[in-house]
Amino acid sequence: MEPIENLAEQWLSTDQDPETRKEIEDLLAIHDEAELEKRLRTRIAFGTAGLRASMKAGYAYMNSLTVLQASQGLATYVLEQQGPSLATGERLSVVVGYDARHNSARFAKLAAGAFVAKGLNVLWFGQLIHTPMVPFAVNHHEAAAGIMVTASHNPKADNGYKVYWKNGCQIIPPHDQGIAKAIDQLEPIISWNEKTVGNSSNVQHIFPEATEAYYTALQIVVPRSTRTATFTYTPMHGVGLPFMQKALDVLGLPNDTMKVVAAQAQPDPEFSTVPFPNPEEKGALDLAYETAAKNDCKVVLANDPDADRFAVAERLDGGEWHQFTGNQMGFLLASYVWETYPHDKGKLAMLASTVSSRMLAAMAIKEGFHFKETLTGFKWLGNVAQDLQAQGYDAAFAYEEAIGYAFTGVVWDKDGIAAAAVFLTAWQRWQKQGLTPWQKLQQLYSSYGYFEDANTYLISPSPEVTGRAFEDIRTSNGTGSPPATIGKRKILRWRDLTIGYDSAGVDGKPDLPTDPTAQMITCELDGVVFTARGSGTEPKIKLYIEATAGSSAEAKRSANEVLQDLLREWFKPEFGLRLAGT
């Protein structure tokens, strides 16, 4: 194995960023080999749609050098895959966007310089945008690819590099492996120039045209409204506010309809009021509730910092706030799509990922539209939706329980602004029916059954620990085979997408793609379905548990019983795993 000092010298011979150079020099000076090993031995993985990590020096983290290496690798792959079809003299284009995080603009400028140096044109926004603008612009401008510099709702120390292919969807196999292989070639850095975007004829500034086209597309999905009730909105220190304001214009709603949380209104990379800027996190909406109380608002809307996710809470008659889960909001939005769909409803398709609720599938069985389950993540939801579109369906809506919703008439990815606009339109419709969003949800439950979840996650010390935990589960029956029961419940179906086995599949083959590098096991019990999976972006094992029953209380009880059984039988304390919130 190559000495760590050699890797450090290799880094210093390449890195031109004085801050990250000093980090490695300081570690060398104090002979901190353990930290150098952590930073330099293993390269940041090109995984879930791209890169995401803390911003530090070293090949394992997000920094100027790893961004440039990723950009050159991506450019090489794009040219190999799409370049041969071009006429002589043409140049492929890549869309580049960034959010308000520390270093996002700088990383985006460096990436743009690398793309131009590799022979690509850059379609440049040049100001803060919400993430869905990148895939939208890829389609609108017929670009070869797009990148967005963002870490979505991660803490302030993180950043990321999200990649879209020419179809406007996040990358999936074989493109992810192909790009990773090109990055690993580690060709010399050919441009370390942040000024390319300001002085190259191969950079086109697209913000005005692209955003106008985006809102034109949104107008097709949401009709103009009459005045609705006021609501409170927070962009969670991110980029969402100007996009939400424009969405109100599209809907025909006055600006005073929206009461903004002042302390969270403007972009703030420090996330000064919410260290973990995810609307799903406990306490994240506390300031929004305070603002709502001052303005007598009964509904709160929230985006995460890059505004691709969307959350809603409603103050109920008893005065308490109910924050809708991602699944509940998925039901509500899907019901609106179904009820207002103007074409042949037999051609309507809606999608949800395998870790999301089965309620959309139940709706499809009763109502007759086409439902499709996909692997986790919008990279799968978007690409599978396009496959359905090619088969003659109108794949109008897709969602995932992690508060992500896609309206494909706008963009083939989750979009917190489009979701907010559709929700406001749906809310107005429900008001005319004498229903609040909460009451509409109860109506849906009475029609399709009560679905309740007990979703949570465990913090894992390392990927190795996660892998050992899942291997132990697979052989925990005492005979080297999977368990037959969970607590008192019999396992009716066992699907393991890591090893490619499905007890209900033809010849044991699963109905979804397998991935030996990702841990995912799904079990069906009587009235309960659960999935355990290792996160692709965080040191977590995520548990998705859903029960269905004749009442909410009964469904909740079953879901929580299975959660406790899993914690006792599968994810034991001796593994070193820690339940969220403990």
For the chain, how long is the longest CA-to-CA vector? 71
Angle, helix 18-29 to helix 33-40, in steps of 10 degrees: 140
Residue bearing tokens 């079809």: 85
Question: Could you give phi then psi for residue 38, rounded to 5 degrees?
Answer: -60, -35
Please report the DSSP string for 437-463 in residue order. Answer: HHHHHHHHHHHH-EEEE--EEEE-S-H
Mean pLDDT across the chain: 94
Indicate the pLDDT class of residue 564, thresholds 50, 70 and 90.
very high
Pick from 566, 256, 224, 146: nearest CA to 421: 224
Catalogue the active-site residues: 152
Q: Edge-to-edge strands of the sheet including 348-353?
A: 370-374, 348-353, 394-400, 404-407
| Higher per-residue pLDDT: 240 or 462 | 240
Q: What percent of the chain has pLDDT over 70?
A: 98
Are β-strands 93-98 and 145-149 bridged in parallel, bridged antiparallel, or unpaired?
A: parallel
Residue 341: both structure tokens together: 């769909």
Residues 110-136 as b/e (b if ≥16 CB within 10 A, e otherwise) read bbbbbbbbbebbbbbbbebbbbbbbbb
Q: How far apart are CA 218 and CA 216, in angstroms?
A: 5
Residue 522 has pLDDT above 80, yes or no: yes
Q: How far apart are CA 464 and CA 49, in angstroms?
A: 22
Lowest mean pLDDT among 103-107, 250-254, 537-541: 537-541
Residue 156: both structure tokens together: 């302030």
Kind and range of the H or E run holding 5: helix 4-14
Number of C-beta neighbours around residue 18 at 10 A: 9
| Span 355-410, pLDDT tens digits | 999 999 999 999 999 999 999 999 999 999 999 999 999 999 999 999 999 999 99
Residue 525 has pLDDT above 90, yes or no: yes
Cα dihedral 320, 418, 425, 347 sign:
negative
Lowest mean pLDDT among 19-28, 530-539, 560-569: 530-539
What's the whole-model pTM score?
A: 0.94
Pick from 420, 435, 432: nearest CA to 258: 420
Instruction: Give me the CATH topology for the region 452-579.
Output: TATA-Binding Protein (3.30.310)
Tell me the residue ranges of DSSP E strands in 154-263.
Answer: 158-165, 203-205, 231-234, 258-260
Per-residue pLDDT, 575: 78
Indicate the pLDDT class of residue 87, thresholds 50, 70 and 90.
low
Per-residue pLDDT, 517: 85
Arithmetic mean of pLDDT, 437-457: 95
- Length of the chain measured in residues: 582
| Span 263-287, pLDDT tens digits | 999 999 999 999 899 999 999 999 9
Per-residue pLDDT, 48: 63
Residue 141 has pLDDT above 70, yes or no: yes
Contacts by residues 212-216 (CB-CB < 8 Å, ≥ 24 positions apart): 213/136, 213/140, 214/133, 214/136, 214/140, 214/410, 214/411, 215/246, 215/247, 215/249, 215/250
Indicate the pLDDT class of residue 159, thresholds 50, 70 and 90.
very high
Residue 433: both structure tokens together: 């029916």
Arithmetic mean of pLDDT, 526-555: 91
Q: How far apart are CA 456 and CA 452, in angstroms?
A: 13
Indicate the pLDDT class of residue 567, thresholds 50, 70 and 90.
very high
Residue bearing tokens 């599209």: 250
Residue extents of the structural domains in the chain? 42-210, 452-579
Q: How far apart are CA 198 and CA 537, in angstroms?
A: 33
Question: Could you give phi then psi for residue 169, rounded to 5 degrees?
Answer: -110, 155
Q: How far apart are CA 162 and CA 148, in angstroms?
A: 5
Cβ contact 121:94 at 8 Å:
yes
Pick from 331, 279, 303, 282: nearest CA to 453: 331
Q: How far apart are CA 94 and CA 274, in angstroms?
A: 33
Indicate the pLDDT class of residue 158, thresholds 50, 70 and 90.
very high
Q: How far apart are CA 281 and CA 52, in angstroms?
A: 20
Distances (CA, A) of 169 to 33, 241, 368, 556: 40, 24, 27, 35
Lowest mean pLDDT among 13-17, 88-92, 199-203, 531-535: 88-92
- β-partners of residue 394 are 348
| Span 306-329, pLDDT tens digits | 999 999 999 999 999 999 999 999
Per-residue pLDDT, 578: 86
Residue 187 has pLDDT above 90, yes or no: no
Instruction: Give me the CATH topology for the region 42-210.
Output: Alpha-D-Glucose-1,6-Bisphosphate; Chain A, domain 3 (3.40.120)
Arithmetic mean of pLDDT, 26-43: 95
Residue 118 has pLDDT above 80, yes or no: yes
Arithmetic mean of pLDDT, 414-438: 96
For residue 68, the one-letter residue type is: L
